[in-house]
Chain A
Amino acid sequence: MASIKDMTDTHNWSGQKLVTADHMLFEAPREKHFMTGSEVLKEAVKRCTVDASVSYPITPQSEAAHLIGELWAEGYVGMYFRGENEFGVMAEVAGCAMAGARTITTTSGPGTLRAMENFPQWSGTRIPCQLILMARGINSPLTIQPDNLEVTFMLETGCMIWYAENVQELFDMSIAAFIVAEKPDVHVPIVTVVDGFFVSHTRESVMLPADDIALFPYEPYKAPLPPIDSETPPGRFLRDPFVMKSNYISYATHASWQWEVRSAVERSRRYAKHFLKGLVHVTGSEDAEIAFVTCGTASHQAKEAERELMKHGIKSKVIKLRTIRPFPKEELLKELEGVKHIFVPEFNVVGWLEKEVKTALHNNHTANIVGGPRVAGGMSLPAEAILKEVFEHINVEGK
């Protein structure tokens, strides 16, 4: 257990040596561990000099919120408390972040929707908090199974959205996420998504740096809006009269404000490219005419399908999207050069990623886009299902 100390220029309150994100992510020596996604998130938060975390740890979600609570008990997280419900949690996260605290929370599925009003409010107030979304679907009867339907509801909230495939990416992304979100010209919330159960509850190998180092603290006075302090009351602009008026000044302010939030998300590209080593990650044959565009664990399954196709002598490639907002349109177009058939396997019934891909490629690419295969409600996505989809749409020998 760390003992609570004063923050210095070189060490945080738990005595961890302060380092840059570049050092943490690219330079510090790493050792192999075997952990679940929830455990790995705890390890990431431990190294981020997190000021505050708020949770509503109902069962069943994941252990993540509970484990961040342990970090508070161990002296690594400045403040930790429970909200009354998911809406309360997200509102309290906003309060912490507006007051200048590096803040994280985690939720999934129905909890995300219950808190929904808060997410565009988060981005509108330009807070750089992080939500770890361990996707688990939304429907009636209530599901607790892996499914990423809720992501479609998050797409237009003005938050950045990154998607991790496995525990290693979850660790690295959730650290980088704070740094990118806190850049003064970005400074919007970030939602780091992983597929619940497949990542949150599954143990995998992960390379971690030592836990005696942590990120430099957040600097709230570099925020694009004044943080709450003894001179700045909370939510000042929410009470200001322009929001209530029906006149051109009000319309123009709101329009400009909303474009500014979207512009801020776009500004994150350059930083995300650096810390994630690219907004997309490609595996398979460079000259393939078949491509799988994926995110999350669907990428893993698509990679298995790619290997199986290769056994049939069919070249393919997997283009994994690491960021959904901003959407990596240019990178995707570049990787799709020469591709004739695009498949978008997904863990949801609506095909939100297929829609994103089609929007990006409309009038920009001539490939045939197949939205599928899709599974939902907790079903797994075996490579065989992906192969079947490919063989149904493409005339190939040796199927």
Chain B
Amino acid sequence: MANQGPAYYSPYPTALYEGVSTPVEGKAILLDKEVDEETAMREIAKQMLTKENATIFPGPQVLYSYSDEARKKAALIKEMAEVLNAKMIPMYDYRPKYPKIDAEIEINPNHPNLTIWHNDIKAAIFIGVHCHYANVALKMVRCETDCYTIAMCALSGHEDAMATIRDQHASDLEQFIKIAREVKAELKL
């Protein structure tokens, strides 16, 4: 993503219209630059460790999915939160919450900015969110907030996040946790 938010009151222009697309296999995107995965993982760890109220938003694919991979990932995300000193606020489902979301305890893809504003979140990881909803949310977060968004995607990645890394399976999360521990030690946190 070329610019960190807040951008405008509208999600336009989206990253695609600013010339940033999803990363090719084996690569990641940091803002508008293509980088290798390890570089991205180090920057993601740094952002999460140094920004205020860093939070992980786990979505339905890791909260409810009935697979060994999902179970393994869920345990690793918990470990990731501990290593990054991050809070966890789940995206339970994709239905807008009316009359009012409890922004303290959940985030929703149709009004993700409310949770970010309420908790003053300056860096966040989206993980386990179906790609369409992640993209809808990421566009809104950038236009409404100054949160540094990170998308750790099991498929193709998300160009509307400030950092995106693709094909993230359990083994990749293990690798990320290892790198995050190293960065944490380097930063003496």
Q: Do A and B come from one complex?
A: yes
| Chain A interface (Cβ < 8 Å from any Cβ of B) | 126, 183-185, 187, 222-226, 236-237, 240-242, 245, 249, 252-253, 255-257, 259-260, 262-263, 266-267, 269-270
Given contacts A185-B156, A252-B140, contact A263 B111 (CB under 8 A): no
Q: Can you list 19 A-B pairs, Cβ within 8 angstroms, ordered by A?
A: A185-B22, A185-B131, A224-B132, A225-B133, A237-B94, A240-B95, A240-B110, A249-B110, A252-B111, A252-B140, A253-B110, A253-B111, A253-B140, A256-B136, A259-B12, A263-B15, A263-B159, A266-B17, A270-B21
B11 touches A256 (CB 8 A): yes
Chain B CB within 10 Å — which of A222, A252, A257, A267 has the most?
A: A252
On chain B, the residues within 8 Å of A242 by CB distance are 96, 98, 110
What string of 1s and 0s marks CB contacts (under 8 Å) between B105-126 and chain A? Answer: 0000011011000000000000
On chain B, the residues within 8 Å of A245 by CB distance are 98
B68 → chain A closest CB, angstroms: 15
Q: A226: nearest residue on chain B (CB-CB)?
A: B130
Q: B144: nearest residue on chain A (CB-CB)?
A: A252
On chain B, the residues within 8 Å of A259 by CB distance are 11-12, 14, 139
Given contacts A184-B155, A253-B96, A256-B139, contact A224 B131 (CB under 8 A): yes
| Chain B interface (Cβ < 8 Å from any Cβ of A) | 10-12, 14-17, 21-22, 24, 60, 94-96, 98, 110-111, 113-114, 130-133, 135-137, 139-140, 143-144, 155-157, 159-160
B96 touches A249 (CB 8 A): yes
A256 → chain B closest CB, angstroms: 4
**A262 CA / B130 CA spacing, docked (Å):** 18
**A185 CA / B130 CA spacing, docked (Å):** 11
B155 touches A240 (CB 8 A): no
Q: What are the 5 closest A-B residue pairs judged by CB atoms, nearest first?
A: A224-B131, A224-B132, A185-B156, A184-B155, A242-B96
**A241 CA / B94 CA spacing, docked (Å):** 11
Given contacts A185-B155, A236-B95, A270-B21, contact A255 B130 (CB under 8 A): no
Given contacts A252-B10, A253-B96, 11 further A-B contacts (CB under 8 A): A126-B132, A223-B130, A224-B130, A241-B98, A242-B96, A249-B96, A252-B143, A257-B136, A260-B132, A263-B14, A267-B21
A185 touches B157 (CB 8 A): yes
Q: A269: nearest residue on chain B (CB-CB)?
A: B21
Given contacts A241-B98, A256-B139, contact A225 B110 (CB under 8 A): no
On chain A, the residues within 8 Å of B160 by CB distance are 263
Q: How many A-B residue pairs have CB under 8 A?
A: 92
On chain B, the residues within 8 Å of A260 by CB distance are 14, 132, 135-136, 139
**A360 CA / B15 CA spacing, docked (Å):** 20
Given contacts A249-B110, A256-B136, contact A267 B130 (CB under 8 A): no
**A139 CA / B42 CA spacing, docked (Å):** 61
B71 → chain A closest CB, angstroms: 16
**A185 CA / B140 CA spacing, docked (Å):** 18
Q: B24: nearest residue on chain A (CB-CB)?
A: A270
Q: B111: nearest residue on chain A (CB-CB)?
A: A249
On chain A, the residues within 8 Å of B17 by CB distance are 263, 266
Chain B CB within 10 Å — which of A185, A236, A242, A249 has the most?
A: A185
On chain B, the residues within 8 Å of A223 by CB distance are 130
Q: B131: nearest residue on chain A (CB-CB)?
A: A224
Q: B95: nearest residue on chain A (CB-CB)?
A: A240
B46 → chain A closest CB, angstroms: 26
Q: B64: nearest residue on chain A (CB-CB)?
A: A231
Q: A241: nearest residue on chain B (CB-CB)?
A: B98
Given contacts A253-B140, A267-B21, contact A183 B135 (CB under 8 A): no
Chain B CB within 10 Å — which of A126, A252, A256, A257 has the most?
A: A256
On chain B, the residues within 8 Å of A257 by CB distance are 136
B139 → chain A closest CB, angstroms: 4
**A241 CA / B100 CA spacing, docked (Å):** 12
On chain B, the residues within 8 Å of A226 by CB distance are 60, 130
A269 → chain B closest CB, angstroms: 8
A240 touches B96 (CB 8 A): yes
On chain B, the residues within 8 Å of A252 by CB distance are 10-11, 111, 113, 140, 143-144
On chain B, the residues within 8 Å of A237 by CB distance are 94-95
Q: A270: nearest residue on chain B (CB-CB)?
A: B21
B3 → chain A closest CB, angstroms: 15
**A245 CA / B100 CA spacing, docked (Å):** 13
On chain B, the residues within 8 Å of A262 by CB distance are 14, 16
Given contacts A259-B11, A259-B12, A260-B136, contact A184 B156 (CB under 8 A): yes
Please tell me which one of the listed residues B22, B139, B140 contacts residue A267 in the complex, with CB atoms under 8 A apart: B22
On chain A, the residues within 8 Å of B95 by CB distance are 236-237, 240-241
On chain A, the residues within 8 Å of B137 by CB distance are 256
B159 → chain A closest CB, angstroms: 8
Q: B134: nearest residue on chain A (CB-CB)?
A: A224
Q: A261: nearest residue on chain B (CB-CB)?
A: B132
**A185 CA / B24 CA spacing, docked (Å):** 11
On chain B, the residues within 8 Å of A255 by CB distance are 10-12
A253 touches B133 (CB 8 A): no
